[in-house]
Amino acid sequence: MAADPKKTEASEHHAPAKPRPAGPIIIGPKELPAPPKAVAARKRTSLLLAEYSTPAKCLHAAEKLRDAGYKNFDAHTPFPVHGMDAAMGLPDSPLGYLVLCGGLTGVSIGVLMIWWMNGVDYPIIIGGKPGFTLPASVPIMFELTILLSAFAAVFGMFHLNRLPRHHHPIFESDRFRAASDDKFFVSVEAEDPKFDLKKTRVLLEATHADAIEAVEETVAGESPKEETH
Amino acid sequence: MSEQQNKKSSANSKEAPTYRLNAQWSGLWKVFAVLAALGLAGAAAGYSSNPTRFAYSWLFGFLVAVTIAIGAMMWVLIQYLTSAGWSVTVRRTAEFFGSGTVVFLALVVPVILTMNTTFAGWLHVGAHHEGGAEAPHAAVIMGESSMLAQVEHTDSAHPAPSQAMPAVADHAAPAPAGHGAVLGHAAHATVREDPEELLEQEIMSRKTWWLNKNFFIARSVFYVLVWFGLGSWLLRRSILQDTSKDVKLTAGTASMAPVATIFLAFTLTGGAFDWIMSLEPSWYSTIFGVNFFASSFVAIHAVLILTLMSMRSSGMLVKEVTVEHFHDLGKMQFGFLVFWAYISFSQFMLIWYAGIPEETTWYHRRWDVGPWAPVGLALVGLHFVVPFFLIISRNFKRKLGWLKLGAGIILTMHVVEIYWFVMPNLPKQDDFAFSWIDAACLLGAVGAYLAVVFRNMASHSLIPVGDPRLSRALKFQNA
């Protein structure tokens, strides 16, 4: 999971059959006037995408990027590749600690709630048992532990994977659709401090990539150039 | 060393792995045999000095060995049921522990021979039936105020369900144990005898079709025969494959595994009912068989983890059983530890909440009587809470020292749990203390079992070299 958080996005993304037109996507009749020049589109390279035909090549590429000091890169594979976490230099996921906190919160809330309700606020004697007792509270403590652990696991995973996120520039690449089928990808984000369009491309070329693509995203620009390329 | 192994190993690595016990370990079964002989001699001395104590102590030692063997067979069967690939290198060790069942054919004999002591609570119920009404103990019990005295009477001979006692259940049913209400209820009832005593008689008369001498002996023999057959069969099939490499053996065992699992489940439930629950014959708990299974299954994971780690530290199976396998064993151990706690607590809580006499006797005897309350709390703390936090984390499961500590605590507490199952039913609990007879019986029974296990281990390959999924297990990694 930690290896490629964007994989789920990839598999859920249904790209259109035809390549997207450059420039802003216009929904509705074609005759609509072009958007005003102030928000005219411009292109920006947002990541470098390298395609591999085998998991081993992809794994080695990740190792090279890790060793070169890149942090903001990711691997996208159709199935989990063993050893990818180590190859990418990913630290252990902190999710377990989030779940532990959720569970401890649940067990505490459970015992406090039953203690307050049955022991203090409204004690009812049933079957000769005292208002508050531990054995009778355990099912509640257990259930709340499970519930809050599960919440922590699911929503913690969302948070760590920066979900929900509706779009990522990597989906601009048609090639990338094979990431959920039979190809293996490594992407390096332009935001990485070590990113350099030429140097990073050279590094990726040295990993025997089948193809390397500079994926551009369309952004609203301050200094408009032509509408289309 | 066979040729196949040499061929295989030369393909795998430079220094040829032998998959055999090294010299240090191959004689270990003799050590266990000597320990067993010492233990059995001690047990015999214990029998001559205190036959009652021996009867209970032997049952305890026997059950410790039985639970490990049951867990081992169930473990192997589950690998076949799930077509598991990861566990192939671990499976042979479990098969060895399952193959120790042959000694139970002998170890069960003292259990049957001492049944007059341990199972006196129900053994004479049927006989009394035939002999007609006897004077019930009720008059004696009525005079005593403590619940303890009433319960302890069940240790000696049970009073007969008198024929001059009609409609017993109507009067005796709803009296909570240990409450003042018991005496009040008795006073209102038109029956002269103590209602709990009558209830117990009524319950016992309904159970005699199952709890009678001949059927009990037949069942005990049946259980150990089934386990002997299953344990030997699993190991033999696997060893045949070492040389034949026949995939059909795997397929055949897998196709028989569901039936074998059902047989094992029923016999282990029967063993739990007959050898532990019938110490307290009027007690009801439908989940106790599951509790017994959970105990066994947690214990076998601890045994496998500790055995394999010791083997690795003396240089065996270093590349075959890796941290990945221990991680998975730890996951299974953790899961079934929680399962054990869930089942044990469910049984306790329902009985505690309902508070009806025929169910509370078990926990009454293990809480209010003798030194057992701290033992019960120790089971909660050390059989569950401490190991739970020790092995909950992925990192801890992969740090073998932590996993080993967790497994060590669990296995120790498993022995304590079996002790806690059996020993509170020993008569005269007020001055209960640990006895050397307990230790001798544990050593004798478990030593004999381990001697057979390690004898088998010394004469066969340590991993199933002919298994079609072996390569998957060797390459196994947790994602």
pLDDT digits (tens, 9 = 90+) for A36-59: 655 666 788 888 899 999 999 999
Residues of A in contact with B395 (CB under 8 A): 92
Look at residue A26 and tell me if it is in a domain: no
Look at the alpha carbons of B352, B357, B359, B360 in this order and tell me if their dihedral is positive or negative: positive
For residue A55, give its domain range: 1-21+47-218
Lookup: tokens for B52: 């009652």
Q: How far apart are CA A138 and CA B218, in angstroms?
A: 41
Which of B86, B182, B393, B397 has the most A C-beta neighbours within 10 Å, making it the best mutation to test the interface with A?
B393
List the 391-410 stretch of B: residues with Cβ below 8 A of A: 392-395
Look at the alpha carbons of B127, B131, B132, B138 in this order and tell me if their dihedral is positive or negative: negative
Q: Nearest-CA residue of chain B relative to A99?
A: B393
pLDDT digits (tens, 9 = 90+) for B248-301: 999 999 999 999 999 999 999 999 999 999 998 888 899 999 999 999 999 999
Q: How confident is the model at residue A30 (pLDDT cuts 50, 70, 90)?
A: low
**Could you tell me where the beta strands, DSSP code E, fall in B56-103?**
none
pTM greater than 0.95: no
For chains A and B, CB pairs below 8 A equal 25
**Domain residue ranges of chain B, discontinuous segments joined by +:** 34-119+212-474, 129-207
pLDDT digits (tens, 9 = 90+) for B187-223: 444 546 677 777 778 888 888 888 889 999 999 999 9
What is the length of chain B? 479
Look at residue A41 and tell me if it is in a domain: no
List the 322-351 stretch of B: residues with Cβ below 8 A of A: 345, 348-349
Look at residue A36 and tell me if it is in a domain: no
Residues of B in contact with A129 (CB under 8 A): 353
Element (H, E) at B120: helix B120-123
pLDDT digits (tens, 9 = 90+) for B103-153: 999 999 999 999 999 998 888 775 544 444 443 443 333 333 444 444 444
Chain B contact for A94 (CB, 8 A cutoff) = no
pLDDT digits (tens, 9 = 90+) for B404-415: 999 999 999 999
pLDDT digits (tens, 9 = 90+) for B7-32: 444 444 445 556 888 888 999 999 99
Residues of A in contact with B176 (CB under 8 A): 128
Alpha-carbon distance values, B116 to A179, B156, B233 (Å) = 72, 10, 34
Q: How many domains is chain A partitioned into structurally?
A: 1
pLDDT at residue B479, rounded to an integer: 64
- B16: which DSSP letter? P
Lookup: tokens for B32: 């266990």
Alpha-carbon dihedral angle through residues B299, B342, B351, B63, given to the nearest 10 degrees: -10
pLDDT at residue A28, rounded to an integer: 58
Q: How far apart are CA B310 and CA B317, in angstroms?
A: 10
Chain B contact for A165 (CB, 8 A cutoff) = no
pLDDT at residue B404, rounded to an integer: 94
Lookup: tokens for B124: 């004479």
CA distance A209 to chain B (A): 24
CB B154 within 8 A of CB B282: yes
Residue burial B354-367, b: 16+ Cβ < 10 Å; e: rest: ebebbbbbbbbbbb
